[in-house]
Structure 1
Amino acid sequence: MSVTSSRTRGGSRNRAEHLGPDRRRPQILDAALQIANEDGISSVTIASIASSLDVTRPVVYACFSSRSEILAALIDREERYLGEALPGILRARAVDATEAVFIEGFQALLAAVAARPQAWRLLYGNPDAEVTELFGRGRAIVVERCRQLLAPTLDAWGTDDAERKLSALVEFWVSSGEGAVRTLLGSDSDHSMTPHDLGAFIGAAVYRGMRSA
């Protein structure tokens, strides 16, 4: 992360470069995300963010009034990134939902995770109660989109008692995706699967589970 303050010859902090709140806020959120991933949400404080950016605390306070406001803004931003990725993950090919469609969807999901792991780790891999409390809208969007896609698919498959099973199957689908995300984020061994291979494995398993329901 780049240093944004000017310094005296003796090395002490002089004053932060004046960027204005609109330019400074993204830097503050980026710093908060990095701290959360490296040291946990509890380590995200006004002081730690200021230290990470090499600025004074008033510079941070000029953009956000509190730590809670920073966390809320960070979760909101990362949820928006998730929302932008959804069209490529949940394709509108519901009635023609073959095994290949499910595989492609899970591969797209895990490719998005691999491209922005810190954000996904914050939302899906963080057990901190503060994150759990703030996060929820993004998952609700995913659940509703899956429900919209799956309802006509079950009808096309001729699933018995489809309407009664719909909620359980949607939760199965979404939870499988969350599990795949956590598996990818937690993979650090030589035997871990690539996003492509893990997506193919989970996508096929979910498809077969739903078809047999």
Structure 2
Amino acid sequence: MTIGAIADRMSVTRPVVYKCFADRVELIEELLQRESALVHDGLVAALHQAQGPDPEAAFITGYTAMLRFIESRPGAWRLLFSADPDPAVAANFAAAKQAVAHHSSRWIRPALESWWGKTDLDTKLPALIELFMASGEAAARTILDPESHWTPDALGEFYGRIMCQAFRAA
């Protein structure tokens, strides 16, 4: 990503872009800050939809809500999942992921205690959250893949069932 490429995409000159942003890093940081807030709020909203007495239904609802949200903002997600994030903003990516993992832990822990009476979560929860985050990223990449034929509803059901079984087995 260069200022020249951004200016070309916006059909303006580079000085116009430089009037708004000191450099490429500032522009990327501003974009990431805006998109990270939207992504975080969307993921938290999806996570909060995943509730109720039926664990499988909750997992399916959560994954489906997440995938619908991802499908609604594919550009932001492609930026977040770029294979080689700019080193100048890599810390922002890591911080956003850590915030979602932390929020997920606070939401999932009571559900696991309620649904399955899990009591040894101090040991297991970090590994389960890592699995949860990885599965969410895999599902997101699948929805974003132009060659994929999955819909958010079908993939949400697929991942929801799988992850429910994984968490139950833990």
Which one is further off, 51-60 or 197-206? 51-60
| Bigger Rg over Cα | 1
Which one is further off, 139-148 or 90-99? 90-99
- Of 121, 140, 148, the residue aligned with 1:162 is 121
Equivalent residue number for residue 9 of structure 2: 52
Question: CA separation in 2, counterparts of 1:93 and 1:51?
Answer: 42
Which residues of structure 2 form unaligned runs of 5+?
none
Question: CA separation in 1, counterparts of 2:13 and 2:111?
Answer: 55
Q: Is the 8 A contact 1:113 1:120 kept in 2?
A: yes
Deviations, residues 56-92 of structure 1 (Å, cap 9, x unaligned)? 2211111000011111111111101112213421117
- Of 32, 37, 50, the residue aligned with 1:75 is 32
Question: CA separation in 2, counterparts of 1:92 and 1:186?
Answer: 25
Superposition misfits of 4+ residues, deviation over 4 angstroms: 92-95
Deviations, residues 180-213 of structure 1 (Å, cap 9, x unaligned)? 0011111415xx2111100100011001100011
TM-score normalised per structure 1: 0.72
Structure 1 94/115 Cα, relative in aligned 2: closer, same or farther at 3 Å?
A: closer
TM-score normalised per structure 2: 0.89
Which one is further off, 169-178 or 150-159? 150-159
Identity among equivalent positions (%) equals 38
Which one is further off, 64-73 or 53-62? 53-62
- Of 149, 167, 175, the residue aligned with 2:134 is 175
Q: Higher relative CO (CA 8 A, sep ≥ 6), structure 1 or 2? A: 2
Q: Summarize the alignment of residues 97-108 of structure 1 with structure 2, pairs less than 5 Å apart.
A: 98-108=55-65
Structure 1 or 2: more helix by fraction:
2
Asked whether 1:194 is paired with 2:151, we answer yes
Report the CA distance between 1:176 and its aligned residue: 0.6
Equivalent residue number for residue 109 of structure 1: 66
Question: CA separation in 2, counterparts of 1:188 and 1:92?
Answer: 28
Helix, strand or coil for the counterpart of 1:55?
Answer: coil
Q: Residue type matched to 1:164 in 2?
A: T
Structure 1 96/132 Cα, relative in aligned 2: closer, same or farther at 3 Å?
A: farther
Which residues of structure 1 form unaligned runs of 5+?
1-43
Question: CA separation in 2, counterparts of 1:95 and 1:111?
Answer: 20
Report the CA distance between 1:96 and its aligned residue: 3.6
Deviations, residues 109-130 of structure 1 (Å, cap 9, x unaligned)? 1001111111111112x11131
Q: Is the 8 A contact 1:97 1:153 kept in 2?
A: no
Helix, strand or coil for the counterpart of 1:150?
Answer: helix
